[in-house]
């Protein structure tokens, strides 16, 4: 059974419209890292931040909290994201995040990950549905749309260390 951090237990079957979901920022998903005080305005996000070359897969996001990111959730996910980034020879730099209700033209659904099935324990995992964007051109169009939405209404969420 998954143990949730104090502060929030996400539903494994539905997403609340006020939930904050974040796309992980890895070293290859932005054009230039601001020297200090990163914000959504100075991240210079590339559409690659919202692209996945595995066209048969949906787009992974992390559920960070209701209305605002929950620090204990962000701390737990920061450790997990840093480990996964390290194994992929990348660096994890936080999330670009926004409320599900502000996302237009896409559906977000919970996809909790388990050690037994997925090799990782992440009850805060969700996916953005890409069922209508499985071809390369459609996937790129969706990634540009998501980049614009997150750049306009999103917020930067910094990683937290224990």
Q: Where are the domains of the chain?
A: 19-30+39-157
3-state secondary structure of 91: coil
pLDDT digits (tens, 9 = 90+) for 51-72: 877 777 899 999 999 999 999 9
Position 1 scores a pLDDT of: 43
- How far is the C-alpha of 129 from the C-alpha of 15, rounded, in Å? 13
In contact, 107 and 2? CB cutoff 8 Å: no
Other Cβ atoms less than 10 A from the Cβ of 27: the count is: 13
Most confident of 16-30, 31-45, 119-133: 119-133
């Amino acid at each position: 059974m998954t143990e949730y951090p104090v502060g929030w237990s996400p539903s494994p079957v539905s997403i609340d419209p006020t939930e904050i979901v974040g796309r992980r920022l890895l070293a290859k998903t932005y054009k230039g890292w601001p020297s200090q005080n990163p914000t959504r305005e100075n991240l210079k996000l590339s559409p690659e931040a919202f692209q996945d070359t595995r066209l048969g897969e949906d787009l992974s996001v992390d559920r960070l909290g209701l209305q605002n990111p929950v620090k204990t959730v962000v701390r737990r996910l920061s450790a997990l994201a840093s480990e996964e980034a390290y194994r992929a020879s990348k660096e994890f730099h936080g999330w670009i995040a926004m409320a599900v209700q502000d996302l237009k033209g896409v559906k977000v659904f919970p996809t909790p990950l388990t050690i037994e099935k997925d090799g990782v324990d992440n009850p805060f995992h969700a996916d953005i549905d890409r069922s209508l964007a499985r071809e390369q051109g459609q996937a790129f169009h969706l990634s540009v749309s998501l980049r614009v939405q997150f750049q306009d209404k999103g917020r930067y969420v910094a990683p937290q260390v224990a």
